[in-house]
């Protein structure tokens, strides 16, 4: 009798354990989407990353900012109308605009701190104008502006943050430097010289180095964060514009507009290990959260090209809107 009870208890335990594993695995399943602003037609394309397929589109208006940001829970995205001084907040579940914030300046770059608490908006463009030298910081709880200040860099554009969310780096495309910003104080710490027309920036995984894509030089500036200075340049390819760094820091990916290429660099020796020549002007590049694919927005062919990060082979060509720019991945439970 006791043996029967023990056997029954063992079977029940196995069933409970198995059920628990199923529940855990179900909880681990995530839906990942890519949001890409299309500057040419004022839309945002939405791609289902698991299927590598475009599934929907948000109509922002006549224009849309080149940058885009999402909250950590993926419930809200921040975009803008580029030239008309507004940041728009959308509910991702309904793809519906829920708020407009008037920043009063051009809306070019938009990004969010890793802790999800603040959104930084940069006003730059490819011209010299004092009205393009402004930066705003938005609180994501109240969705109100908490700082707006004039930058001493010329035409601030694209943005990255340290993992503790305390420091922002903003490229200044018309003054050839990068502003280092204290996010708590809302002020510039210093400006660090880079190459000609620095565009996108990306930090190394340990936040020790900042890589800067210099469009007109066709190279990367490597900036030592602690020393606050450029320590070397890496030759890449004409029109180095977009940049991504693998999670392990081993590979640096660049999208190069003038040479129509995507280049992969070994960060240890700064050598190019792969170069893919593509049709249609690679613009921005981002690696999926699982590290499996690199997504490249293509300016002239209006598509996103998907590259396997292990084999460096193109796996998909996904049609999107006109002149796609930055790529923001959103993970939903």
* pLDDT value at 19 more than 80: no
Distance from the first to the final alpha carbon of the chain: 46
Tens digit of each residue's pLDDT (9 = 90 or more) over 58-67: 999 999 999 9
**pLDDT for residue 29:** 60
* pLDDT value at 2 more than 80: no
Asked if residues 171 and 212 have their Cβ atoms less than 8 Å apart, the reply is yes
**pLDDT for residue 12:** 41
Side-chain-side CA neighbours of residue 308 (13 Å): 7
C-alpha 9/C-alpha 15 separation (Å) is: 10
Give the pLDDT band of residue 294 (cuts 50, 70, 90). very high
Give the pLDDT band of residue 126 (cuts 50, 70, 90). confident
* pLDDT value at 13 more than 50: no
Mean pLDDT for the stretch of residues 140-151: 97
Tens digit of each residue's pLDDT (9 = 90 or more) over 207-227: 999 999 999 999 999 999 999
* pLDDT value at 247 more than 80: yes
Q: Which residue has the higher pLDDT, 30 or 271?
A: 271
Give the pLDDT band of residue 82 (cuts 50, 70, 90). confident
* pLDDT value at 22 more than 60: no
Q: Average pLDDT of the chain?
A: 92
C-alpha 69/C-alpha 118 separation (Å) is: 10
Asked if residues 148 and 134 have their Cβ atoms less than 8 Å apart, the reply is yes
* pLDDT value at 25 more than 60: no
User: Taking Cα atoms as reference points, which of 188, 179, 124, 127 lies closest to residue 156?
Assistant: 124
* pLDDT value at 6 more than 60: no
Tens digit of each residue's pLDDT (9 = 90 or more) over 42-60: 999 999 999 999 999 999 9
**pLDDT for residue 129:** 81
């Amino acid at each position: 009798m006791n043996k029967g009870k023990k056997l029954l208890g063992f079977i029940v335990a196995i069933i409970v354990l198995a059920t628990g594993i199923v529940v855990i695995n179900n909880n681990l399943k995530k839906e990942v989407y890519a949001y890409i602003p299309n500057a040419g037609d004022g839309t945002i394309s939405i791609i289902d990353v698991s299927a590598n397929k475009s599934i929907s589109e948000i109509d922002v208006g006549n224009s849309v900012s080149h940058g885009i940001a999402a909250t950590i829970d993926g419930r809200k995205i921040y975009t803008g109308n580029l030239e008309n001084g507004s940041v728009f907040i959308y509910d991702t579940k309904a793809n519906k605009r829920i708020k407009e914030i008037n920043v009063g300046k051009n809306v070019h770059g938009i990004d969010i701190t890793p802790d999800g608490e603040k959104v930084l908006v940069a006003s730059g463009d490819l011209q010299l104008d004092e009205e393009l030298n402004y930066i705003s910081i938005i609180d994501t709880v109240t969705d109100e502006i908490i700082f707006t200040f004039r930058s001493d860099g010329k035409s601030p554009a694209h943005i990255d943050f340290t993992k503790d969310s305390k420091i922002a780096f903003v490229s200044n495309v018309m003054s050839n430097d990068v502003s280092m910003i204290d996010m708590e104080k809302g002020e510039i710490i210093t400006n660090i010289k880079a190459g000609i027309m620095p565009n996108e920036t990306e930090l190394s995984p340990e936040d020790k180095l900042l890589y800067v894509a210099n469009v007109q030089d066709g190279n990367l500036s490597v900036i030592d964060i602690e020393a606050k200075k450029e320590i070397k340049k890496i030759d890449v390819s004409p029109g180095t514009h977009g940049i991504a760094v693998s999670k392990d820091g081993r590979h640096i990916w660049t999208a190069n507009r003038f040479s129509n290429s995507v280049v992969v660099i070994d960060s240890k020796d700064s050598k190019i290990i792969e170069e893919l020549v593509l049709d249609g002007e690679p613009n921005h590049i981002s690696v999926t959260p699982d590290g499996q694919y690199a997504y490249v927005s293509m300016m002239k062919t209006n598509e996103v090209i998907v590259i396997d990060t292990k084999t460096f082979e193109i796996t998909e060509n996904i049609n999107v809107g006109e002149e796609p720019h930055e790529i923001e991945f959103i993970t939903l439970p």
